[in-house]
Amino acid sequence: MLREGWCLSTTTMLHELLDTTRLYMTSRMRMFNNSTQQDHSSCTKVECYANQVDEKTYETKHTQQCQGCGHITVDAEKVAAILRQGQIPLVAIVESSSLHPDTQLEFVTDRPYVALSHAWAQGLGNAHTNSLPECQLSKIKGMFSQLPPTASAPNSSKLAIWVDTLRIPVADSLKDVRKLAITRLATTYQEAEHVLVLETGLMSSTRSASRIEKCSRLLSSAWLRRLWTYQEALLSKNGNHGDKLQIQFSDGAIHFENLLRSHHSLCHSEKAAQTLFMALPLTGNTSSRLSTLTRTLQYRTTSKHEDETICLTSVLGHDVHKITAAKTDERMAIFYSFIDCVPRNMIFRTFPASKLLGTVGRRNHLQQSRSIATAHSLEALRDENGVYVDLVTLEFCSITPPTWPVWHFVMTDGKQHWSLSPAESKAGRNEEEWKKITMEWAAFDKSVVEAVRGAVILNEDRVTGLRTLVSILREEGETRFCRFLALARVFVLTTTLGRV
């Protein structure tokens, strides 16, 4: 797959999600957009950079059939005026005749509409003006007419359109309105009649393609990898109309629910897709929603780092305005101020929990060593000091430096011996990667040696769980304030090995 130009992160993700048969079938799928048009050479296992957008060089694309046509621009001042009045700016696409399709846009505000969900990298964005090529608008209009009629929109071809490209002002002078539009995204997607997903890979396939193919295309789509589109999918589920996410194929759209629901049984790729989308809609308290979010977000990224907090805040249902009003480097801290409770196992997770927590630049964990009375509780309180958990901790009185390459350190309580090692395993890695990791172990060893008061927070999940290596900063009563150092594995050494 890599030789054919597939993205390393997509391939890795599919390798994790699919069984061998499904993976093989997916590899035989022709990927128009992934293999032939995009450059995935700098992508890593966890992140795809091909869909990152550089606004300076961004170019809006025409349809494949287009020989060249003009852009239709909307009046950004008018959009701004509608937004300032508290309304959602929409446009209706008007075509005067099919023979001479002279497409025009008409401002409307109170009409059922379709909100588009697309990855900018595929060409439907515009970083410079609020305009789109005529050919694209005409194509979109055609897609609308095939959408199923609803109670409030019996005639699909009359549906208005909401697309960020036209509806979020880009001009620098309208920055305040841009923020206003972003804070109103939730309402925009909730109140849409349909949310239509436009993705090149999916649109190169048909509705009649096999279930496996459709699902594999969804899994390997650029749409699935963007944080904004996740927010859009999620918001569409929280709206008043219920499920309205439609996935566009070359010959029409399929209701998202129908794509993953079968009367008989789900095939493996469908199950995999469902795992990624089971978070829709997000339910429960902040802690459980955040927990689901961290699972779902591991495959998604945004082009602009500061956008992450906007998406996350919106997804969790908090006030986006507080984020957009803040400076970009303060946004993560504000996001955390919304969350006073996190899943307690978060302190043992490598990714993406650490991605979320790590951005705050502070990973202090609090430890009450005496009791594990609240072990059944899944939630940990959080304040400006960090996360409060109640777990057993081993504090080092003394620690023996590495005696064996994979053991690193040996701890003993007089009876039993444990080995303390960095939390990496060789599984799924090639020799070169593994060599790099073993070289990084020196950093782990250094952090243990340099921790003035080192300790290991034990995980309740003793079989698979990682342990958190911390340094104890101070004590207040029975509470120990710790700073995160690294994730570690702890093995009980057998008697024979213990003697070494």
Binding site for Zn ion (CB under 5 A): 7, 40, 43, 48, 50, 62, 66, 69, 133, 135
Alpha-carbon torsion angle 112, 118, 124, 126, nearest 10: 90
Give the nearest distance from C-beta 68 to Zn ion in angstroms.
6
Shortest CA distance to 411 belongs to which of 425, 424, 423, 394? Answer: 394
Give the nearest distance from C-beta 230 to Zn ion in angstroms.
17
Q: Which residue is nearest to Zn ion (CB)?
A: 7
User: At CA 199, angle to CA 196 and CA 203, rounded to 5?
Assistant: 95
Give the nearest distance from C-beta 79 to Zn ion in angstroms.
22
Return the number of the residue (49 or 441) whose C-beta is nearest Zn ion. 49
Between CA 434 and CA 425 the distance in angstroms is: 8
108 exposure class (CB count in 10 Å sphere: 0-12, 13-18, 19+): middle
Give the nearest distance from C-beta 2 to Zn ion in angstroms.
11
Strands in 281-434 per DSSP E: 341-343, 364-368, 379-383, 386-389, 393-395, 409-412, 417-422
Give the nearest distance from C-beta 132 to Zn ion in angstroms.
9
Return the number of the residue (53 or 486) whose C-beta is nearest Zn ion. 53
| Three-class DSSP category at 204 | coil
Give the nearest distance from C-beta 124 to Zn ion in angstroms.
12
Return the number of the residue (121 or 312) whose C-beta is nearest Zn ion. 121
Return the number of the residue (133 or 402) whose C-beta is nearest Zn ion. 133
| Three-class DSSP category at 8 | helix
3-state helix, strand, coil split of the chain in percent (to 5) is 40, 20, 40
Neighbouring CB atoms inside 10 A of 26's CB total 24
- List phi, psi (to 5°) of 476: -135, 105
Return the number of the residue (39 or 329) whose C-beta is nearest Zn ion. 39
Evaluated on CA atoms 308, 313, 317, 319, the torsion sign reads: negative
Q: Which helix (H) or strand (E) holds 25?
A: helix 20-27
Return the number of the residue (43 or 192) whose C-beta is nearest Zn ion. 43
Shortest CA distance to 101 belongs to which of 79, 131, 133, 130? Answer: 133
Indicate the DSSP class of residue 306.
Answer: T
Return the number of the residue (7 or 31) whose C-beta is nearest Zn ion. 7
Give the nearest distance from C-beta 160 to Zn ion in angstroms.
22
Return the number of the residue (68 or 154) whose C-beta is nearest Zn ion. 68
Give the nearest distance from C-beta 40 to Zn ion in angstroms.
4
